[in-house]
Structure 1
Amino acid sequence: MNLIQEDWVSKYKSDEKAVVLDVRTEDEFNEGFIANAINIDIHSGQEFIDAIENLDKNNNYYVYCRSGMRSAKACEIMNQLGFENAYNLEGGITEWDGEIIQP
C-alpha cells in the first residue's frame, strides 16, 4: 500500500508492531537513513528474498527507498511472500522532511 509521508509517519508512530525497512544499497543507506531503519538491499537478489523471509510476518513494515519505486516493488514482493502489512513511502527519502540519521 502506498502512503504519503504524513500518513506513513502517523501510522508508523501509532503502530506497536512497526518496523522501518530501507531497501536501498548499503552505500545509499550510509549516506543517511530514517531513524530505526533496517537495511536490506532489494538489488541483492536471492539474499533480499532470504532476508525478507526471515522477518516476522506479524509485524507491520514501513518501507522506503530513494524515490519510492524500489520500495513499491519490495512491498509487492513482501505481499507475495505472505506479508499482509507493507507500506510504501511515496516519494522516498528524497522527499522526506523528517529527521535523517547520519551514520
Structure 2
Amino acid sequence: MAIFKMRYEDDWKKNYIQEFNEMRENYEKKLYIKQVEIDNLKSEIVNIKQSKNTLKPKEKQITDMDIQSIKDLRFCGLSYSEIAKETRWSKATISRVLNGLYD
C-alpha cells in the first residue's frame, strides 16, 4: 500500500503549504508596515535636527570703533553707567567689551 498515496495525504501537504504561505505573506505585510513606520520616524528626526540648525547666532552688532570708544572712556575713568549713557550701549555690553569678550 505504500506504493499508492492516499488522497488525504496530498491534501494535507497542500493545506500545510497554503497555510504556511499565508502566514509568510501576513508576516511580510506586517514587516513592511513597521519598516514604513521606522522610515517615517527617521525622516521626522532628520527634519527636527535640520530645524534646530536654522537658528543662527546673533551676529556681532557692535563695531570695532564702538569697542575702542568704550575702552577709551573707561581709560579716562568713567564708570560703566557713565559709559552706557555716553555710548548708548548697555552696561552688560560694556562689561563684555572691557572683559575682553570682543577682542
* TM-score tier (shorter): under 0.3
Larger radius of gyration: 2
Q: Which has the higher contact order (CA 8 A, sep 6+)?
A: 1
When the two structures are superposed, what TM-score results if normalisation uses the length of structure 1?
0.20
Larger proportion of strand:
1
